Amino acid sequence: MPPYKMMTYIPRPPFDLTMCETHFPRVKPPPDDAAFTQALLKRNNDLSPTSQEQTAILNLVNKVQAILDSLIVTPGAIEACQLEEVRTVGSFKKGTMLAGHNVADVVVILKTLPTTQAMEALGAKVSENLKAQDPKSSMQVVNTERGFDILTGDASVRVLVTTVHRNLRKLEPELHMNMKIASSHLAAIRHSRWFEENAHHSTIKVMIRLLKDLRNRFEGLQPLSPWMIDLLSHFSIMNNPTRQALPINLALRRCIQLLAAGLFLPGSSGITDPCEGGVMRVHMAITLEQQDQVCLTAQTLMRVLTHGGYKQILGFEGNASEF
């Protein structure tokens, strides 16, 4: 028998005023957030892609998906691989794209094993069909370790290749795509499906754009992955006693407060990944140093926001290097 009793590890949630507001009644009226709300909506409008960008990316995605769908129904058209399914994923599918980043993600699931030759052959076939549709196009295809990218002057599509789940254990590093990369592409499909079913509220999409912008401008928030931002936005807006969506001004303030209080620190219950059986906390994907960096950056932003510096946080005044 050991001379001491083993302690059970129990992760704890950080302090969240929204969940226990009845225990801390206000002694004065809440502040007028009208100017802050208008600034958030204006920033979201600035970050949203223009109609020209949306049209360009939609046209390219439709062309690529039509070609890939035709390869599914006519499997003999390409000998190097056989296609099982094609799914659009990522910010294009979720409606959370940022202006100036006109990139859509499409996942192709193969029945066969994803060798380098198979991915290159698939890219060449898609390129051949696209050029046949529009010979004057300046489109080009670039092969990557994840599949291939289709680039035009005003839009691009990343084709992410993977294989059916039963083939993952058969992948050999010398011959095939890395198993972690293939698994991440399957996970992207699960993420898009979950988002479509649970996070379709417009306020969540506004929050995601704002958080992506903060991550791009503040180095300490860069460890946050797109999936972490999706879940954090949904949690901040929908996870409250009423189960009704919070206004964007309250939601963003709550989000920064949660990060500053240690939501993504060791020992925190954090946010469980709904697509991984409820046993994986999303912040475990980043290092301890990165968890600390996210927390201390959020604490700095919270201090600035508390003193009315929302214009500096949103990028209307000053720059991120001043923080």
- C-beta neighbour count of 40 within 10 angstroms: 22
In the prediction, which pLDDT does 75 show?
73
Q: pLDDT of 213-254, one tens digit each?
A: 999 999 999 999 999 999 999 999 999 999 899 999 999 999
Determine phi and psi for 23, rounding to 5 degrees.
-85, -10
Rounded Cα–Cα distance for residues 20 and 1 (Å):
42
Could you give the maximum distance between any two Cα atoms of the chain, in Å?
Answer: 79
Residue from 31, 14, 157 nearest 97 by CA: 157
51-198: CATH topology: Beta Polymerase; domain 2 (3.30.460)
Higher pLDDT, 176 or 3: 176
CATH topology of domain 200-322: Poly(a)-polymerase, middle domain (1.10.1410)
* Residue 1 scores a pLDDT above 80: no
Nearest to 103 by CA among 41, 43, 40, 60: 60
| 35 Cβ contact list (under 8 Å, min separation 6) | none
Instruction: Provide the CA 53 distance to its chain's centre, in angstroms.
Output: 20
pLDDT score of 6 more than 60: yes
So where are the chain's domains? Answer: 51-198, 200-322
What is the CA angle 317-226-11, rounded to 5?
105
Q: How far apart are CA 60 and CA 106, in angstroms?
A: 11
Which string of DSSP letters, residue by residue, matches 14-60?
PP-GGGGGGGS--SSPPP--HHHHHHHHHHHHHHSPPHHHHHHHHHH
**pLDDT band for position 282 (cuts 50, 70, 90):** very high
The pLDDT, as a whole number, for residue 115 is: 92
Q: What does the pLDDT look like over 285-294, one tens digit per residue?
A: 999 999 999 9
For residues 131 and 209, give the distance between their C-alpha atoms in angstroms, rounded to a whole number: 34
Q: What does the buried/exposed string (b/e) look like for 140-161 if buried means 16 or more CB atoms within 10 Å of the residue's CB?
A: ebeeeebbbbbbbeebbbbbbb
For residue range 98-153, what is the model confidence (pLDDT) as tens digits?
A: 999 999 999 999 999 999 999 999 999 999 999 998 888 888 999 999 999 999 98
Q: What is the full DSSP assignment across 237-293?
A: HH-STT-SPPPHHHHHHHHHHHHHTTTTSTTB---B-TTTTT--BGGGGS-HHHHHH
Question: Is 0.85 topped by the overall pTM?
Answer: yes
